[in-house]
Structure 1
Amino acid sequence: MDIAEPLLAAHRARFAAVDALLPPAAPPADGERLDAATAAGTQVTGVLQRHRFGPGDVPMLWSAADTWRLFPYFGDTGTEGADLLLRSLKGRLEGEPTGEDSACVVLWPSRDAEAIRAFLDHGLVPLSAIGVRTAPPPEPEPAVTVRRAGPADYATAVALADATFDYTGLVAAPRRPNTAELLGPGLRAALAEAEPPVWLAEEDGEARALAHCAWVDAAPGNEAAELLPPGRWGYVNNVVTQPGDRGAGFGRALMAHVHRELHRGGATRTYLYYNPTNPLASVFWHRQGYRPLWTSWEVRPASALR
């Protein structure tokens, strides 16, 4: 979709000024166009996409079934431009049959405080963030045994991965009743192959924590390069500690091992998704050296957009 060249240039300049780690802003996405103008007459544009998911679709683990995703282009107009586009989105949704399992979503650079003001004013909350870590691997934690998991660990791995949604269902996206079924195929495939890796932290032969990870190459033209600087990244997909073992150091020891292994596999930096509203994850990952690069702002249901 084409937008005015001065607006696109201002959009890219905004990203570069907000956070030096952001990759160059991607070209406009395809979708429905929303236009508005500031009091000074500057045009701002949004691109709107609608995504619908069924009960068996893996994105249902984190997404509403009916999601309206806005890609804003407001250049140097700051809070005013972001506010105008959200008002346009609200107007677009009036009369639309949005149900309870629906959402409006904007993925935006985490450090853009002017945009945050507009998001909050319109009822959006920061439900997810992409955190990045650029520090060297930490020293080992010798007191905890960490090993690669295999096919024989499937039941343990699914039970651990499923358990994390009991907690995140309280502080982020609601838990789905078929969470284990949605998680199962991906974990079974990972455990059956050498890659992507799954690690278990153990004590006295009992699994205490799990990390499901991967290597991701951010290269020109691929999806990862729209979110991350170029290079080979370690992706920390899912990490969970047994509920009764949280705070005992198993997660810290596991991630010390994982960071070294991802580095050994060629990743100089790592990234993950976490919930800023999660009082455990938001503290743990920051202590692990991660900081937010992108934040996903969301309001559920979509009709609750102010």
Structure 2
Amino acid sequence: MVSSAGRFAELDPLLPPPVPLASGERLRAVTASGTQVSAMLQRYRHGPGDAPLLWSAAEVWQLFPDPETAGTEGFDALLGALRSQVDTEAPGADSACVVNWPSRDAEAIRAFLDHGLVPLSALAVRPAVVPENVETDASIRLAGPDDYPVALALCTATFDYTGLVAHRKREQTAELLGPALRRALGEKATWLAEVDGEVAALAQCDWVESTPGSEAAELLPSGRWGYVNNVVTAPASRGSGIGRALMARAHRELLNQGATGTYLYYNPTNPLSSVFWHRQGYRPLWTSWEAHPAWALR
């Protein structure tokens, strides 16, 4: 039998070794061929002012299959067990069933699709490769605290757009974004592109250390990673190359400061970001599969 670490390594050499889940409810199931499979189930409930509402339903049933789970049959059985559990709890309209799983496991994908899950978010990685030079008429500079109003407007607009193509739109988007954005603007890892004195694009980045035992180590190889958080190009400037030029600058700055690589989350259902990020050298490592509401899980 292949170990859980070996199983993940076979799926994708960039996956870190799986770690045991500390808490949750154990779900068990048996496949049609008699194989026993299991997963941990965790529940989350987010209040009106909680930042995760920007990317999450208010009620979440998240399934963590055991890392050695393999084959469509095993995931099919686990998702059936999850549906049975959800049926006992009467979830509301703002709810979801979620499974975050390595992106390259095609056999698992078959089961996810059969049970009505869709790929709403992907963690994608880019190796530490020096970006090409991109010519642009835009002026690119570090953002600071004084740029908060325009930065908030841009970020709010992109989250509102995401509400059309992925996670639901929230009326309080600006309020939820504000505190983290203020902190980010004071940390010298956000860049703005300006054209004729007007801000046309923003790239808000951060640093994440993936060390043994850390939360990041559950998803990323060890190292100091540049995290590309919010990236926005104003609608009037899309297609002009400003976004490419801005990210070339951001990638170069992060690599010059010792980044192992860079990573981000994007929505596979977003017709703008899904194309843009692949062209920038990113590829999915983990994909979050979701059913909204939770009772939409088949």
On whether the aligned pair clears a TM of 0.5, the verdict is yes
Q: Normalising by structure 1, report the TM-score.
A: 0.94
Q: Report the counterpart of residue 39 of structure 1 in structure 2.
A: 32
Cα drift, residue 137 of structure 1:
1.9
- The 1:121–1:214 alpha-carbon spacing in structure 2 relative to 1, beyond 3 Å, is same
SS in 1 for 2:71: helix
> How many Å separate the matches in 1 of 2:130 and 2:196?
26
SS in 2 for 1:75: coil
Cα drift, residue 214 of structure 1:
0.7
Which region of structure 1 is more displaced relative to structure 2, 279-288 or 88-97? 88-97
Q: Report the counterpart of residue 150 of structure 2 in structure 1.
A: 156
CA contact (8 A) 2:120 2:166 kept: yes
Task: State the one-letter code of the partner of 1:215.
Answer: W
Q: 2:163 aligns with which of 158, 162, 169?
A: 169
> How many Å separate the matches in 2 of 1:184 and 1:109?
31
| Structure 1 residue 133 corresponds to structure 2 residue 126 | yes
Cα drift, residue 142 of structure 1:
4.3
**What are the ranges of 5 or more consecutive residues in structure 2 without an aligned counterpart?**
none
> How many Å separate the matches in 2 of 1:186 and 1:305?
33
Cα drift, residue 140 of structure 1:
3.1
| Structure 1 residue 59 corresponds to structure 2 residue 52 | yes
Q: Deviation string for 1:139-185 (max 9, x for gaps)? A: 33342211011111110000011110222111100110000111111
Cα drift, residue 25 of structure 1:
1.0
**Number of positions where the alignment pairs a residue of Structure 1 with one of Structure 2:** 297
Q: 1:223 aligns with which of 208, 215, 218?
A: 215
SS in 2 for 1:116: helix
Q: 1:147 aligns with which of 141, 156, 163?
A: 141
Q: 2:242 aligns with which of 236, 239, 250?
A: 250
> How many Å separate the matches in 2 of 1:140 and 1:105?
39
Task: Give structure 1 regions of 4+ aligned residues with deviation exceeding 4 angstroms.
Answer: none
**What are the ranges of 5 or more consecutive residues in structure 1 without an aligned counterpart?**
1-5
> How many Å separate the matches in 2 of 1:90 and 1:230?
35
CA contact (8 A) 2:207 2:226 kept: yes
Q: 2:61 aligns with which of 68, 73, 95?
A: 68
CA contact (8 A) 2:124 2:283 kept: yes
Q: Normalising by structure 2, report the TM-score.
A: 0.96
> How many Å separate the matches in 1 of 2:251 and 2:67?
37
Q: 2:23 aligns with which of 30, 36, 54?
A: 30
Q: Report the counterpart of residue 3 of structure 1 in structure 2.
A: none
Mapping for residues 1-306 of structure 1, pairs under 5 Å: 10-73=3-66, 75=68, 77-143=70-136, 144-191=138-185, 193-195=186-188, 197-306=189-298
SS in 1 for 2:90: coil
Q: Percent identity?
A: 66
Cα drift, residue 14 of structure 1:
1.9
Q: Deviation string for 1:48-78 (max 9, x for gaps)? A: 0000001100000000000000001273541
